[in-house]
Amino acid sequence: MLDGTGTPVAGQHLKADLSGIERLAGSLGQLANEFAALTTVADEAGAAGNAELAGALSDFATGWSDKRNQLAGQLKDLAKDAEAAVRAYAATDLALAQGLGTR
């Protein structure tokens, strides 16, 4: 980190809870799989007894399916990003440690 004059500020350290980020990635991946496995809302239009209600149920089922798929994809992307962050942090830590001769 630099101060207002562009001089490096001592005492600033990068810290990352890699096991926590790994757990987050796993949880996000699990949520994505659970959302993807959900079945679509059943279209019970015939049992609705009303054409307007049947149409609303059908619209909801279609909208839910689309949004569920979108959300599952976003969760998978976040899980991949978290996994990539862990790899990047670990590689940076290793490179810095090797540069200091501690590993």
Q: What is the pLDDT of residues 76-95, one digit of tens each?
A: 999 999 999 999 999 988 88
For residue 47, how many C-alpha atoms fall within 13 Å in the half-sphere facing its CB? 3
Q: Would you state the pLDDT for residue 84?
A: 95
> What SS3 state is found at 2?
strand
Residue 50 clears pLDDT 80, i.e. is over it:
no
Helix (H) / strand (E) element for 91: namely helix 51-100
Cα angle 29, 31, 37 (rounded to 5 degrees) comes to 105
Find out whether 9 and 3 touch, Cβ atoms under 8 Å. yes
Q: Which of 1, 13, 26, 35 is nearest to 92 (CA)?
A: 13
Distance, CA of 75 to CA of 79 (rounded, Å): 6
Given a cut of 80, whether residue 40 has pLDDT beyond it is no
Where residue 60 falls among pLDDT bands split at 50, 70, 90? confident
Confidence (pLDDT) at 103 = 57
Percent of the chain with pLDDT over 70: 76
